[in-house]
Amino acid sequence: MRTLKIKLTGTGSKIIPKIVVDERAVNLKKNEFGSYETTVKTEKQEVDIFLFRELELKSKLWWLYAIISFIVSIFGIFEPPYDRKCIIIDCHFKVSLNEANEIKFKLNSLSPQGKAVNIETNCDYSEITNELKIDKNAKLRWRILLIIKIIVWIGIAITFGYLISKAL
């Protein structure tokens, strides 16, 4: 049985990518220093590690979730903002394992140029993909959502002004 210790550092408060090791999602636990760690046990000599970031605006029912969260958060007042940059993380590594293995992923800043993560490990690995991309579809949906929210707020302001003028 081989043990693989994975550590994820450099995460912001909003960006915590999902990690999949050999088609199994891995649960990360936050440690006292603000980074995330997990331990995976496997029988294999070589594993595939995927790091990715999913955007809410990428899902099929994004509009339904946006409407419900807008209304529940009292017309967007308490709603956490969507990521305006709409940057996704796409990383895939093949790692050859020893008996005890440590892999440390350090996330780089979110800009569409350069690599998504730097990897430090005592294992041999090959980097298949390691990039940050702008999701144009999610960016378009974010703009549509912003325009709709502005129109709703203007409508609320006009309705509120009308009701006040009728009351006086």
How high is the pLDDT of residue 79? 82
Whole-number Å distance between alpha carbons of 98 and 100: 6
Q: Give residue 13's pLDDT.
A: 56
- Given a cut of 50, the residues of the chain with pLDDT beneath it are none
Q: What is the pLDDT of residue 160?
A: 94
Q: What is the predicted pLDDT for the residue at 59?
A: 86
Q: What type of residue sits at position 146?
A: L
pLDDT of residue 65: 87
pTM reported for the whole predicted model: 0.77
The residue among 81, 96, 94, 54 whose CA lies nearest residue 149 is: 81
* 142 contact partners, CB below 8 Å, separation of at least 6: 57, 82, 83, 84, 86
The whole-number pLDDT of residue 14 equals 64
